[in-house]
Amino acid sequence: MRLFIFFILLLSVSISSLNAQNNTMIEWKTWAELEQSLKDTPKPVFLFFHSESCVYCKKIERQVFTKPTVIEKLNTGYYAVEMDVERTDIITFEGMQFNNKEALSKRHGIHALPLLLASRDGVPFSVPATIVLNKDFTLKDRVFEYYTTKQLLKLL
């Protein structure tokens, strides 16, 4: 009987721990979820474009996106979307379809959405690319380099 009670307590502590961990993560949305959320309740948008081979992207994910202050700020004040720029699926947003046409001719092709939202004139596309949009989907700010927690909170 004691073993059974111990097992139940252990199980409830594990479930509580999992719930606490879920509350300490950024609530990333898909593009479809973003589109619906903007229709329901307009809010500023935080876009984070990254790639698997980007060391600074991984560092931002580990050292900035895990901070409770950043998580709280993004989850309460923004709709957040993260995207691997090399993905090859078709994304429908605002009635338009976007895909990775470059993937057909290049090994590491860049998807059309990041190219549209995070390109700069005369500068080759690079990651990390962070785009902050106002709630009407107009540009507020863009960052194309590593940033610290303090720098991100100031930007937001």
The domain made up of 25-155 is a member of CATH 3.40.140.10: no
**Would you say the C-alpha torsion 15, 37, 140, 87 has a positive or negative sign?**
positive
**Would you say the C-alpha torsion 150, 22, 35, 61 has a positive or negative sign?**
positive
Question: What are the sequence ranges of the domains in the chain?
Answer: 25-155
Q: Distance between CA atoms of 19 and 93, rounded to whole angstroms?
A: 31
The pLDDT tens digits of the residues spanning 59-115 come to 999 999 999 999 999 999 999 999 999 998 899 888 889 988 877 676 678 999 999
> Which is it for strands 45-50 and 79-84: parallel, antiparallel or unpaired?
parallel
pLDDT of residue 5: 46
Residues 48/82, Cβ–Cβ less than 8 Å? yes
Q: Which residues pair with 79 in a beta bridge?
A: 45
Higher pLDDT, 124 or 132: 132
Q: What is the pTM of this model?
A: 0.81
Question: 129, exposed or middle or buried, with CB in 10 Å at 0-12, 13-18, 19+?
Answer: buried
